[in-house]
């Protein structure tokens, strides 16, 4: 009987501890919003959306829906998805704020912009 009560008290203490931990976490600055993955479709020789704004730490997934191969290639050469064949995807994570203009290496008339906010 006594043992059972002690056990119960310990359990309650553990729950209380978890509650305090949760309070601390929720009270923390909201700088750490969970990173998101944004999707960009490449279809009919266009990036959609052609302009996208994300937060630093977010990722972008490009998916090629065309028969022709495409890339998403940064104009400054900072990043590149590499060649995406039909139905292929590539995901890149962006940590540095800035505005990036990019294009398709096979079809340079295909252009778009990606803005990474701090």
Applying CB under 5 A, the residues found at the interface with Cu ion are 70, 104, 106-107
Residue with tokens 């959306």: 49
Question: Of 71 and 94, which CB lies nearer to Cu ion in the complex structure?
Answer: 71
Token couple for 1: 């009987």
In the complex, least distance from residue 29 CB atom to Cu ion, rounded to whole angstroms: 42
Residue with tokens 């008290």: 9
In the complex, least distance from residue 107 CB atom to Cu ion, rounded to whole angstroms: 4
Question: Of 58 and 70, which CB lies nearer to Cu ion in the complex structure?
Answer: 70
Question: Of 20 and 106, which CB lies nearer to Cu ion in the complex structure?
Answer: 106
Closest residue to Cu ion, judged by C-beta, is 104
User: Where on the phi/psi map is residue 58: left (φ > 0), alpha (ψ -120 to 50), or beta?
Assistant: beta
SS3 65: coil
């Amino acid at each position: 009987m006594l043992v059972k009560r002690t056990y119960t008290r310990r359990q309650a203490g553990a729950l209380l501890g978890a509650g305090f931990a949760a309070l601390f976490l929720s009270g923390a600055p909201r700088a750490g919003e969970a990173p998101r993955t944004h999707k960009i479709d490449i279809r009919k020789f266009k990036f959609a959306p052609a302009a996208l704004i994300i937060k630093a730490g977010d990722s972008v997934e490009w998916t090629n829906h065309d028969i022709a191969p495409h890339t998403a290639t940064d104009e400054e050469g900072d990043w590149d998805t590499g060649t995406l064949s039909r139905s292929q995807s590539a995901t890149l994570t962006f940590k540095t704020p800035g505005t990036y203009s990019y294009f398709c290496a096979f079809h340079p008339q295909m252009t778009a912009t990606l803005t990474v906010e701090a």
